[in-house]
Amino acid sequence: SAIGIKKQMETPFKTIAHRGASGYCPENTQAAFDLAVEMDADYIELDLQLSKDGEIVVIHDLKLDRTTNGKGRVIDYTYKELRQLDAGSWYSNEFAGEKILTFEEVLNLYRNKIGLLIELKKPSANPGIEEMVASILKKHNWESWGKNQIIIQSFEQAAMKKMASLLPGLPIGVLVNYPIKKNEAEEIARYAEYLNLKWTLVNKKLLSYLAAHNLKTFIWTVRTKKELEQIRQYSVEGIATDYLKLFK
């Protein structure tokens, strides 16, 4: 679309709303994702975990305490119990009544609206989540979404290898928060399309090495103008932020 072309000229990288537009709304809620769509981001980033009864839910922390009015571990509650919780009031009263979403709700709500950068949050503590995510993506016909409109990422490389074998062709990203060695990046390039770096780790040498191995790079998580200015010197595929206004 004309708007899409204009935006591409303005920002030479994809814009990623980290946990939705989480600088202005409670993270990982419909309010945060809707605002990211409204603010014309290219992707929403979201975190997936399992409920006690095997529903895939959208929440970042392993515990409920920070972002809901619940207490204790997400995986100790059924989906029905999780759904009773308020995921908005902790942020501000304006968002009272925001619910913990399911993965399927996100797929239904945002198809054809925005890209999804889906993080499996600590999959080793959410056993079986790879197979469940794969079967839901199949049910929702992920291959009919636009190219790279659905990307799966995690810090856990074993889980990403598994996703790559469960759904060949699905774009995979590995999150990296340490100065990665060349041979490790090379191994990741065998099954992943993205190596997504913490912003403090970026340097020209590493980026050209990754590019030579056909790895794209999303940078996370930029939160200030100064950080953005630093990252803008580099050619990267995308930048994640809590504050989409930084890109305006």
Q: Which does 216 bind (CB under 5 to 8 A by kind): ligand G3P, Ca ion, none?
A: none
* Min dist. Cβ of residue 6 to ligand G3P (A): 26
**Kindly report the CA angle at 230 between 218 and 9, in degrees rounded to 5?**
65
**Residue from 55, 119, 130, 237 binding ligand G3P (CB under 6 A):** 119
With tokens 């399927």, the residue in question is: 104
CB closer to ligand G3P, 119 vs 237 = 119
Q: Is 60 a catalytic residue?
A: yes
Enter the tokens of residue 236. Answer: 């990267």
Binding to Ca ion, residues 92-121 (CB under 5 A): 119
Instruction: Choose from Ca ion, ligand G3P, none: what does 175 bind? Cβ within 5-8 Å by kind.
Output: ligand G3P
Helix (H) or strand (E) holding 220: strand 218-222
Q: Is 45 in the site for ligand G3P (CB under 6 A)?
A: yes
Which of 33, 103, 194, 220 binds ligand G3P (CB under 6 A)? It is 220
Report the SS3 class of residue 172: strand
Please tell me the distance from the alpha carbon of residue 12 to that of residue 44, in angstroms, as a whole number.
18
Smallest distance from ligand G3P to CB 194, Å: 10
The set of residues, in sequence order, having a beta carbon less than 8 Å from that of 248 and lying 6+ positions away, is none
Binds 240, which of Ca ion, ligand G3P, none (CB < 5 to 8 A, cut-off by type)? ligand G3P
Say which DSSP state 74 is in. Answer: G
Alpha carbon distance 9, 57 (integer Å): 36
Assess 242 for contact with Ca ion (CB under 5 A).
Answer: no
The first and second tokens of residue 81, run together, are 């119990």
Strand 150-154 relative to strand 172-176, pairing: parallel
Taking the complex as a whole, how short is the minimal distance between the CB of residue 63 and ligand G3P, in angstroms? 14
Helices marked H in 2-91 — which ranges? 2-10, 30-38, 79-83
Q: Of the listed 14, 18, 99, 162, which one is catalytic?
A: 18
- Name the catalytic one among 28, 31, 42, 60: 60
Q: Is there a catalytic annotation at residue 140? A: no
Interface positions with Ca ion (CB under 5 A): 47, 119
Interface positions with ligand G3P (CB under 6 A): 18, 45, 47, 60, 119, 175, 220-221, 240
Catalytic site residues?
A: 18, 60
